[in-house]
């Protein structure tokens, strides 16, 4: 088994450290990718801190991967050495169930295989993108359009698709009134994509500290949730509210902001349960929903959409040795708007 350098958590809650992990020998359908950049998603932090249950360690997170193809198996038809490619949150699925056939590999009935911390179809535990290379079956490799620099493309593979998919599913377009709660990694992509789809976009952030950035990214309004007047003034104002917050929220306060037939879509995944008053759904036929990343075809569609509209992630590029500090800053909502690891520093 080839050994590659990685940054991994040795056990739950421990700082990540430089180590080596195994990658499988490439099979006929595999693409070997030399990783150039890996985004830091809040899900990486939830996972290695045990928020979402027990994991196998050491665990190298990272499901926002951008790089260049360095080798291909004999049966690979869609990729060649030198291609600019990406890998997101999924690296395998059954390919046969109704979910997979609909292009929703994330809803595979036999269980889609996550990019890290999951059991792959060959029985090995997957390891993520905080490393120098990865081997992925061709069907789960995305093409990164030339118009998007690789470092700014990496976060699209999770933050981009996780916001694009629900905005498309709930038919956001010209005339839609959309609110995005939380201007972090997901939120700043949600604002850009909703704006590019033609919606009127409002950011609901804890403070006005990132207002200038939010407006520059395409928001029409930027309001602070710390101000009670925000909630009074926005009653029945939105068709879709996208909740990207990593912590529990007062769901009732946001349901009241939906107009008739409006939907509050939760993509933020806090470890704690949240409760709500069903009367806010009954009144105005409102919906409370969730959404999980997106399928492979839709991820390619999102990448092409971003290229066409000149959209990419806003990033702070960091060295691998700064990962633990970056985690603390993400937890403090102190990031504009995604940390991206320069894999050249993994060394």
> Residue numbers of the site for Zn ion (CB under 5 A)?
41, 43, 158
Q: SS3 of 84, please?
A: strand
From residue 252 to residue 281, what is the string marking binding to ligand NAP with x (rule CB under 6 A)? Answer: ---------------xxxx-----------
Q: Which is nearer to ligand NAP, 80 or 247 (CB)?
A: 247
- Output the smallest distance, CB 293 to ligand NAP, in A: 4
CA separation for the pair 337, 184 (Å, rounded): 6
Q: Which is nearer to Zn ion, 21 or 158 (CB)?
A: 158
Going by the DSSP 8-state scheme, the letter that residue 57 receives in this structure is S
**Half-sphere exposure (Cβ direction) of 296: Cα atoms closer than 13 Å:** 25
Closest by CA position to 197, among listed 238, 228, 165: 165
Q: Is 129 in the site for ligand NAP (CB under 6 A)?
A: no
Closest by CA position to 161, among listed 65, 338, 295: 295
Among 76, 91, 158, 257, binds ligand NAP (CB under 6 A): 158
- 215, 235 Cβ separation under 8 angstroms: no
Q: Is 172 in the site for ligand NAP (CB under 6 A)?
A: no
Q: Is the peptide bond before 46 cis (omega within 30 degrees of 0)?
A: no
- Output the smallest distance, CB 197 to ligand NAP, in A: 19
Q: Which two tokens stand for residue 130?
A: 């905080």
Rounded (10°) CA dihedral 210, 216, 221, 224: 0
Q: Which is nearer to ligand NAP, 115 or 333 (CB)?
A: 333
Choosing among Zn ion, ligand NAP, none, which partner's interface includes residue 245 (Cβ < 5 to 8 Å by kind)? Answer: ligand NAP
Closest by CA position to 268, among listed 60, 41, 16: 41
Residues 35-94 binding ligand NAP (CB under 6 A) are 41-43, 46
Q: Is 330 in the site for ligand NAP (CB under 6 A)?
A: yes
Query: Which residues pair with residue 230 across a beta bridge?
Result: none
Q: Which is nearer to ligand NAP, 23 or 195 (CB)?
A: 195
Closest by CA position to 119, among listed 58, 73, 56: 56
- Output the smallest distance, CB 313 to Zn ion, in A: 12
Residues 288-327 binding ligand NAP (CB under 6 A) are 291-293
Among 126, 137, 176, 333, binds ligand NAP (CB under 6 A): 333
Closest by CA position to 322, among listed 312, 335, 333, 305: 335
Q: Binding residues for ligand NAP, per CB under 6 A?
A: 41-43, 46, 158-159, 162, 182-187, 205-206, 210, 244-247, 267-270, 291-293, 330, 333, 335
């Amino acid at each position: 088994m080839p050994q590659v350098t990685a940054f991994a958590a040795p056990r739950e809650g421990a700082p990540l450290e430089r180590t080596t992990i195994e990658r499988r020998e490439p099979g006929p359908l595999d693409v070997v990718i030399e990783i150039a950049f890996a985004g830091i998603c809040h899900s990486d932090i939830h996972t290695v801190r045990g928020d979402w249950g027990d994991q196998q360690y050491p665990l190298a997170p990272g499901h926002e991967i951008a790089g260049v193809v360095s080798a291909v198996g004999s049966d690979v038809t869609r990729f060649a050495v030198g291609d600019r490619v990406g890998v997101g949150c999924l690296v395998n699925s059954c390919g046969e169930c109704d979910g997979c056939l609909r292009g929703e590999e994330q809803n595979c009935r036999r269980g889609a295989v996550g990019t890290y911390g999951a059991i792959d179809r060959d029985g090995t535990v997957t390891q993520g993108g905080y490393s120098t290379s990865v081997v992925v079956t061709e069907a789960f490799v995305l093409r990164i359009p030339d118009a998007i620099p690789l470092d700014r493309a990496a976060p699209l593979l999770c933050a981009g698709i996780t916001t694009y998919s629900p905005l498309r599913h709930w038919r956001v377009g010209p005339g839609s009134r959309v609110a995005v709660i939380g201007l972090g990694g997901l939120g700043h992509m949600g604002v850009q994509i909703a704006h590019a789809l033609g919606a009127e976009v409002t950011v609901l952030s804890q403070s006005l500290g990132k207002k200038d950035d939010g407006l520059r990214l395409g928001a029409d309004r930027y309001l602070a949730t710390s101000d009670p007047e925000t909630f009074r003034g926005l009653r029945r104002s939105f068709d879709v509210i996208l909740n990207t917050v990593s912590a529990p929220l007062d769901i009732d306060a946001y349901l009241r902001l939906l107009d008739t037939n409006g939907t509050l879509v939760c993509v933020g995944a806090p470890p704690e349960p949240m409760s709500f008053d069903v009367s806010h759904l009954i009144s105005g036929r409102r919906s409370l929903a969730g959404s999980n990343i997106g399928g492979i075809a839709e991820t390619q569609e999102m990448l092409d959409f971003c290229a066409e509209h000149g959209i990419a992630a806003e990033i702070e590029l960091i060295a691998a040795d700064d990962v633990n500090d970056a985690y603390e800053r993400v937890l403090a909502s102190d990031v504009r708007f995604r940390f991206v690891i320069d894999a050249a520093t993994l060394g």
